[in-house]
Structures are given as structure tokens and as C-alpha cells.
Structure 1
Amino acid sequence: MSYTGPEFDPPQPERPARPGRPRRAPVIVLGALAAGGLLGWLAYAAVGASGDGPDPEASRTVAAPATGTRTPSSAPHSPAARSSASPSSPSPSGSHAAGDDGKDPGAPAASGPLRGKVVVIDPGHNPGNSRHTAEINRQVDIGTDSKECDTTGTSTNGGYAEAAFTLDVAHRLRTLLEQQGATVKLTHDDGLPPWGPCVDERARIGNEAHADAAVSIHADGSAPGNRGFHVILPAAVHAGGADTRPIAAASRRLGASIAGNFLRVTGEPPSNYLGGGTGMVTRRDLGGLNLSTVPKVFIECGNMRDGTDATRLTSGSWRQRAAEGISEGIVAFLRAS
């Protein structure tokens, strides 16, 4: 997702340190990651606002994960266990074809520690958006403002589209969550619908599913040299049809759990251009968050326009790790809820 698109106003540059006063070090440290999700949440609540972007409620946090589904390890995953192949189409019934894109044909149905939990995955943008410019440029109400229905998203310099990336990670994430027994719904999948959905409809899908957690997957389109991931949290918005006050605290806990686990599993650093090194940004200009009535966050997995990040984002083995990091964050959040 580019910050010049309809879901974002251009972020303000971070404030330089005062003369003679050292800049504070980032609060995410690897040593804190073993302390658990509750510690991460308490640290998040205590640190206060960061002032990123136009939102005065932007916050700092220690993004420490709760216990996930695997034994923590800093060692990279073996590329031989992953694949860069494109995902095959799932059947409408939710069954998975055998393949090496992270799907598991033997994924259990409604059994496991997350049995009874519902997760909505929102793959950012849609590969068909570029063919439906009139439809995606239509204005929709997001509570605090009106924005375009959707955008085409960004891409790497080599042409790998954000919409392809988000759908691939969403497929891998769905499989991992289903293996834990969760019921998983995608906002769109493999050309259906052929464009969108609009940002208000993406929120509505999670609301109508009564999701226990919802995650929108993205990759950024910032300047080269800007790299790293960040998780976007909903501000406590109350305007028009938007009221995130009931879900803001739970969304922060979900975001802290995902950020900590994503860092641990992927090795991708927190953003060096937003969030003050915390990997966490709070915003009030996202329709997908403003209109949500269930705990929801966005994750920008990296910057597609940076060469180092692009190498990771275009790797199937790294996308599998990205899905694992997000999954473990969701699982930890749900099991603690």
C-alpha cells in the first residue's frame, strides 16, 4: 500500500532530535520478545504517543509476542521447506488442493485449540482493480471522511504486484489458522469479486462474520531506503458511522502480538521511517479500521520499493515465514482472549 493512496494522507516526517539532546532508542528489542504478549501490551500502554503522521494519537509500544504455536527460534527457516510457486485456486467449500504454496490438503476442519474462533483475512487491494478504475475511484464514507473505494496498490520495481503478494500470504495464513481449528474467511479470493471490495465492505465482511480477529495484509510503496514492517492500529474514532472505541484496546493487543511474532519469525526489522522504531502506528484515516466493530489491524509487511525488502517479499519461503509470524500473533491473541 502506498501512503499516497486513498487510505492514507502522506505521513509527516519524524521530528529531529533537539540540539544537544540524544534521540531515544527504539523500544523494540530482541531481549523483550521472550517476555510475552501481556508484557508487550503493558509496555505499549505505558510508553505513550509518538506523533507519527497526521494522527495525534499515534503511539509507541514494545511489541513483544505472546507464546505462539512453535518453539521460538532466531534461526532462519529452511528454504527447502517452502516454495515461491503461485497459489492454486481454492474451492468455494474451503478445501485446499495439494500444492507447495503453503496450503495443506489435510487441514483439519473445526478441530484444534482455535475451534469456534473466526478470523477474517483481508488481502489488500485486488489484482483486478486496474481493470475497474471507475468502480474503485467511487467515493465511500469512512466515518471521518470519504475516500476512494479502493486502489490498485503498489508493486516492486520488477513488477510484482502488492495485490498478488497479499493474496499469496492470505492463502498461506488461512491454511495455518485452519490447522489450529479456526474458521477463516477472506474478503476476496482468486478473482471473486473481480475488483475491490470497497474499504467499507471489507470492514462489513468482518463485522457480519462476528470475527474474533481481523487482519488486513499489505506491503508499502515508500521510497528506497525506507524499509521494515509496521502494524497499523485503529485510533479511538467516533465520527459519523465509525465508532472504534469498543474495539480499540483489543486491536492494540492484537497488533502488539502480531508485531512481536512477525519480527521474531521473519527477522524483518520494524519500519525505519514510521513508528519510531516500534513497528506500530495508530491511524484514524483507514476505512477498513474506522468501520470495523471487531478487533482489527493492518500489517505492512515491508516496502516493495526498497531492494532489500523486495528480495524478501518476492521469495516464497519468506512469504511463508510472514504468514507464520502473522498466524502466531493471531493465535497468541485468541488464546489469551
Structure 2
Amino acid sequence: MHSRGVLLLTGVLLLAGCSSPSDPPPSPPLSRAATVEGVVPSSVPSPTSVARKPVTVVLDPGHNGGNSSAPSVINAPVPAGRGETKPCNTTGTSSDDGYPEHAFNWDVAQRVGALLSAEGVRVVYTRPDDSGVGPCVDERAAIGNRAEAAAVVSIHADGSRASGAHGFHIAYSSPPLNPAQGPPSLSLAEALRSGLSGGAFPVSTYLGTDGLAPRDDLAGLNLSERPAVLVECGNMRDASEAAVMSSVEGRQRYADGIAGGVLRYLGL
């Protein structure tokens, strides 16, 4: 999904490297997250979050708003795991009326981050805004690895034009390349499926089985050494789902489902 020369790590997995500092980027201040319409993060941690050591979750909003302006950067090959390479990143899809996936991914990630932060979770984002280029897919995985994240969640939306294609699915690396990609990642995927299903979102009619999709071709998942999944929230080419994704209320529903799944996985 960005140039190895591009370093975009501040504020907080999987379809997108770049050089980066040795430490993971800090979470953006709560006031930044609050700039997303309708997001009101709590400034007071819950009592349980004070009593325990913060756990880290990396949120990876897919693509980026400036990718289309830098084709030479995002088309450059980077490691994708399993001995393969892939383009650094892509521009993502959009709804038929022009609402871009990168903006949807960014908005939902900020909402999820606000909900997790309110529960005392340390949130790290793979990119600081929705106007830059990258980072590349291998660097996005590296951010989660350096952060020693308890969970990495990449947030996306699909652009299938298959007739009747709609619904969410959650991808995880399979066959696993390390222990974290085995049962931990599957458990994370199942928890997120429960969270989105509980929000009345339908499972995919065209990809995966029962909302779960084992994949061996997604760089962000293949290169992760932490439990990691990629959530395709729905199909932006389906008019009904696009309407939900384009609305503030719809994006908050997606965020509620994703955050609820992450908290379920973490046991919080």
C-alpha cells in the first residue's frame, strides 16, 4: 500500500519500506482524534486502565490520501513475505460517487483509536494523517513489530464489482509463518468478526467463509510478528454499503464493532 524514503510514523494492520526510527511512533494527542467529526474521546482513563500496564494496539488505516500523486513511490517493489515482492502501496478504491477508501479507513481508525484509548489502551497509528504518501506495506508491518503490539488491525474497504458482492471479511496470514500468525491471529480475527456481526454488519457474500479469509498474499500480514488481521469493512461499490460508509453514523458503527472486537480479544 509507499516509498522506502517516506517516513510517516506518528499518531496509529493489513492490505497496503521505508526507513523509520527505532522506536514506534507515539499516539496522537486526544485533541487530534477529536477533530474527526463525531469522535469525542474520553480525557479521563477508566479506573481499570490506571491499575494495569497499558497494552499496545497498532491501527493501520489502509492507503493514504497522497498516494495518487506519487506513482513512482507507491509502485516501487518492496518485500511482501514468502519470497515475494509487491508494490509499496496502492491508491485504494472509492464509492461510485467518489468517496475514497483512504478517507474512510482514516476516519474509522481514528474512531477506533478513541474508543480504545478511553479503555486505557496505548494506540499507535501507521500514518499520522490522510494527506501523505505511504508508508509502504512492509514498513506498516514493521511498525507493529517494533511496537510489540498485542494486536495489529489494518482497516480497509473493498471495491469489488461482482454482482451482489457485499459484507465484511477479516483476513489473516495462512499458512502461518510464525507463532503469532497462528492461533493468536485467528483468535483476533474471530473476535473482530463477533464485534462487527454484533453491530449488525453482514458477513461477506463473495470472499472468505463465515466472514474469515485466510490469505497468503498480503504483505502486512505475512511480515507481521504480532497477532495481525486485515478488516475489509464492506464493499464500497455496493450502493447500500457505500451509503453507510459515507455517513458519520455508519463509520461510528464500524468503529464500535472493531473496537469491541479488539477489546474482546484483549480480555478488557
Shorter chain as denominator, the TM-score bin is 0.7 to 0.9
Contact 2:27 2:122 (C-alpha < 8 Å) held by counterparts = no
| 1:318 lines up with 2:250 in the alignment | yes
Partner of 2:175: 236
User: Post-superposition shift, 1:92?
Assistant: 7.2
Partner of 2:196: 262
Instruction: Give runs of ≥4 in structure 1 deviating > 4 Å.
Output: 97-100
Q: Per the alignment, do residues 270 and 290 of structure 1 end up closer, same or farther by CA in structure 2, a change over 3 Å counting?
A: same
Q: Per the alignment, do residues 163 and 326 of structure 1 end up closer, same or farther by CA in structure 2, a change over 3 Å counting?
A: same
Task: For 2:267 and 2:91, locate their aligned partners in 1 and report how far apart those are by CA, in whole Å.
Answer: 35
Task: For 1:94 and 1:130, locate their aligned partners in 2 and report how far apart those are by CA, in whole Å.
Answer: 28
Partner of 1:121: 59
Contact 1:228 1:301 (C-alpha < 8 Å) held by counterparts = yes
Q: CA RMSD in A?
A: 2.2
Q: Per the alignment, do residues 260 and 115 of structure 1 end up closer, same or farther by CA in structure 2, a change over 3 Å counting?
A: same
Partner of 2:148: 210
Contact 1:220 1:303 (C-alpha < 8 Å) held by counterparts = yes
Partner of 2:106: 167
Q: Per the alignment, do residues 330 and 300 of structure 1 end up closer, same or farther by CA in structure 2, a change over 3 Å counting?
A: same
| 1:181 lines up with 2:120 in the alignment | yes
Give runs of aligned pairs for residues 6-155 of structure 1, distance below 5 A. Answer: 93-96=28-31, 98=34, 101-104=37-40, 106-108=42-44, 112-113=48-49, 115-144=53-82, 145-155=84-94
Partner of 1:201: 139
Q: Deviations over 1:243-291 (max 9, x none)?
A: 33443210000000001111111x1210001123x00000010000000
Determine helix, strand or coil for the equivalent of 1:169. helix
Determine helix, strand or coil for the equivalent of 1:142. strand
Contact 1:110 1:182 (C-alpha < 8 Å) held by counterparts = no
Q: Deviations over 1:36-55 (max 9, x none)?
A: xxxxxxxxxxxxxxxxxxxx
| 1:220 lines up with 2:158 in the alignment | yes
Partner of 1:64: none
Contact 1:247 1:293 (C-alpha < 8 Å) held by counterparts = yes
User: Post-superposition shift, 1:318?
Assistant: 1.0
Task: For 1:261 and 1:200, locate their aligned partners in 2 and report how far apart those are by CA, in whole Å.
Answer: 27
User: Post-superposition shift, 1:139?
Assistant: 0.3
Contact 1:126 1:195 (C-alpha < 8 Å) held by counterparts = yes
The residue type equivalent to 1:312 in the other structure is V
How many percent identity over aligned positions?
42
Contact 1:140 1:200 (C-alpha < 8 Å) held by counterparts = yes
The residue type equivalent to 2:230 in the other structure is F
Task: For 1:191 and 1:304, locate their aligned partners in 2 and report how far apart those are by CA, in whole Å.
Answer: 18
User: Post-superposition shift, 1:161?
Assistant: 0.3
Q: Per the alignment, do residues 110 and 203 of structure 1 end up closer, same or farther by CA in structure 2, a change over 3 Å counting?
A: farther
Q: Per the alignment, do residues 248 and 131 of structure 1 end up closer, same or farther by CA in structure 2, a change over 3 Å counting?
A: same
Task: For 1:283 and 1:216, locate their aligned partners in 2 and report how far apart those are by CA, in whole Å.
Answer: 14
The residue type equivalent to 2:92 in the other structure is G
Task: For 1:256 and 1:177, locate their aligned partners in 2 and report how far apart those are by CA, in whole Å.
Answer: 18
Aligned length: 241
Partner of 1:248: 182
Contact 1:236 1:244 (C-alpha < 8 Å) held by counterparts = no
Task: For 2:106 and 2:64, locate their aligned partners in 1 and report how far apart those are by CA, in whole Å.
Answer: 8
User: Post-superposition shift, 1:190?
Assistant: 1.4
Structure 2 alignment gaps of length 5 or more: 2-14, 17-25
User: Post-superposition shift, 1:120?
Assistant: 0.2
